[in-house]
A and B are shown apart, each in its own frame.
Chain A
Amino acid sequence: MKKIWLIIKREYLTRVRKKTFIISTLLFPILWIALIFGMGYIAKESVQNLKIAVIDNSGYFSEERLNKQNAIDNSSTLIPETKNAEKIVADYKTNGYDGYIVIPAMSWKTGTDSLQLKSNKSYGSSSTATVEAKLNRIWNEIKNDSLQLDNEKQQILAASRITLKSKNIEDEKADVKTAEGIGYVSGLLIYLILLIYGSQVMMGVMEEKTNRIAEVIVSSVKPFQMMLGKILGIGLVALTQFFLWIAFVVIIYNVGKVSGAGGGMASQMIGGMQSMFGSVNVPLILFCFGFYFLAGFFFYASLYGAIGSAVNEDMREAQSLSFPITMLVIISIALMTPAIANPTSPIAVWASIIPISSPIVMMARIPFGVPNTVPWWQLGLSMALLVLSFIVTVWFAGKIYRTGILMYGKKPSWKEMLKWAFRKN
């Protein structure tokens, strides 16, 4: 036991002290935030202000109406070009237009379902949406005027709308949007940890093998202890990184709260976080996250460790042998999306119980609420199965490790590795 502790300590300290650890710990949240804001910025920037020629055959879309709307909303410009219609259709580009719309002759009572924006390019929906909205506003105005509705009537019409929201009466605080968000984030984080730190275990074992220190170590400790120490040590590194990130969030949260409504963006974020944490069971989610993170890590890391012990220094060998395992992790993340879209569907339930995908998929379901969306028996069964299977994989990996770590030469096949696992002694 003392020896495992020594190994854990070494694995942990050598990694935590590395510059790459410090840099990645600092950079990850920054990149994450940059990604979120960057995406918003790019989406905003990619909206084009279109200048559209409107060729009106109905007589409703008058210059006056169009100009009025252009003055209200400048995100797109609609110019009436009814008189020289043919010239515009033939040569809209040289006249400075991005496209043109032909409005057919129609009655205000029936209207038309769709119009076409003709141009030589396909514009994204975010660009055409503003044009569409403007046309609809004009159309509403036309209808209002034709019906001779005054302002009061118009307001009554616009105001009386029914919206339907799903409300969970068992769980007053449940909020689907927040649950989805937390589900995505926790599933993704576990996915990243499994892949990044799992392959770190593999590389660590390979390093020991190529450095030829493995034999020195196994003459002092059992190979199983050596493997377990490595997995635990690296698991702790991952955990440390997590705690640092959580500490980050807490600090930002508190600083933001103290500085009050200083920055609009910051206070918006803080407000979002407050309502988010208000609507879910934070302690339960944190506990489950810790559990699935560790158990899932043991499950996959031991398999990665076994592969690291079986191959030589060749990275390509390791990649080809670890491909099936990486595939399992990727399948889990692929199952996460349907599970979040419908957290009580059979696929979500089973994927969150079967240990291969449960660390990611169950974590994505839990924010929707325990025990309503995820009954206790499902959570219990999923946890029990995961614990049981990581014990099996650690045992199995230990067997392969013991043989593989001292084996140099040809890359073994999966079949040979299975043989090692079931060989006595």
Chain B
Amino acid sequence: MTLLELQNLKKYFATQKAVDDISLTVERGQIFGLLGPNGAGKTTLIRMITGIFYPDEGQIIFDGKKFDPINDVGQIGYMPEERGLYKKMKIGEQAMYLAQLKGLSKADALKKIKQWFIKFEMESWWSKKVEDLSKGMSQKLQFVTTVLHEPKLIILDEPFSGLDPVNSNLIKDEIFNLAKNGSTIIFSTHRMEQVEEICDHIALVNKGKKILDGTVKQVKQEFKENLYSVGIEQELSSITGVTPYEIVGQKNGLHILKINEGSTPNDVLQYLLNQRATIHSFNEILPSLNDIFIKLVEGTPAARQFQKI
């Protein structure tokens, strides 16, 4: 079931086509990775979804209805990349304030904050001020305030930056938990290993346009280069003749083969067996998202240029 549908969204600024005709569909319970280089238009796109910006053109369908920023923001939790809290405010009061701004009643807010604080072992923080917290601690607090009101849609922009591995895992587990309980998560980052680990579905945005959209598996299949790693006892280069593959390289004692066009992995195995080779392992090498990202974005200028519109 679809929770969020973006139809031909456009947002032009004075010198940039920040978002230029992007359509996306995010399913309920999905962890959706929104990827793209710096300045690709991710933040602008997210700001339209959170009701901060109005799109110049296009529509946002949220939960089956046309997106209504005033009422629907209570269903959205947003943790921006540029995050912050009131430094001089006590942590408990701060969490209460942000929760109530999202529409929770005082009693509800208090109950939920208590639960989360216990979960994240933050009970002793209640009457401390934000300026007393370390960066990682305030990150945790920020995460709690984002998800506290049990939003249907949670948007996290670089949620792990500045967190140590222990706290990263804590938050990661919580993200999985939230998705399991029915929340939909849009996860924006350029840390590809995290995307591979966490996301079901990704979309890649560059220069205001969507250039890739699909599940992680699909995308990898789409960009695979028919590479296999073969563990074999003989020296592979001693096998000569018309091979159904090319040797591309060697890594950790494994040979890396690229299967010729028109051949299948079975052909390769058959050929090698016929050569009386002893095979220990035979694995497909799928491109990492990092490789795909670099491949797609490479060649475009690292920084977006200003343009006339």
Which chain A residues have a beta carbon within 8 Å of chain B's beta carbons? Answer: 3, 6-7, 10, 14, 207-208, 211-222, 406, 408, 425
Contacts and interface: CB of A to CB of B under 8 A. Distances in A.
B214 interface: no
Contact of A220 (B56, B83, B102): B102
Contacts of A211: 84-87
Contact of B101 (A207, A208, A215, A220): A220
Contacts of B56: 425
A207 B87 CA distance: 9
Contacts of A220: 73-74, 98, 101-102
Nearest to A423: B14
B76 interface: yes
Contacts, number: 63
25 contacts: A6-B97, A6-B100, A7-B101, A10-B97, A14-B88, A208-B86, A211-B87, A213-B84, A213-B85, A215-B80, A215-B83, A216-B78, A216-B80, A216-B84, A216-B98, A216-B145, A219-B52, A219-B73, A219-B76, A220-B73, A220-B74, A221-B73, A406-B47, A425-B54, A425-B56
Interface of B: 47, 50-54, 56, 69-70, 73-74, 76, 78-80, 82-89, 97-98, 100-102, 142, 145
A220 B47 CA distance: 12
A378 to B, nearest CB: 41
A218 B83 contact: no
Given A10-B89, A220-B74, 14 more contacts: A6-B97, A211-B84, A211-B86, A213-B83, A213-B84, A213-B86, A215-B52, A215-B80, A216-B83, A216-B85, A219-B52, A220-B101, A425-B53, A425-B54
Nearest to B157: A215
A219 B80 contact: yes
Contacts of B47: 406
Contacts of B74: 220
A211 to B, nearest CB: 4
A14 B93 CA distance: 10
Contact of A222 (B70, B79, B145): B70
A219 B78 contact: yes
Contacts of B69: 222
A425 B48 CA distance: 12
A212 B79 CA distance: 11
B78 to A, nearest CB: 4
Q: Which of B82, B84, B100, B145 has the most CB of A within 10 A?
A: B84
A207 B86 CA distance: 8
Residue of A6, A10, A215 with highest tally of chain B CB at under 10 A? A215
A367 B69 CA distance: 49
Contacts of B78: 215-216, 219
Nearest to B102: A220
Contacts of B80: 212, 215-216, 219
A215 B98 CA distance: 12
- 10 smallest CB-CB distances across A and B, nearest first, come from A212-B84, A211-B84, A219-B78, A213-B84, A220-B101, A215-B80, A212-B82, A219-B50, A425-B54, A218-B52
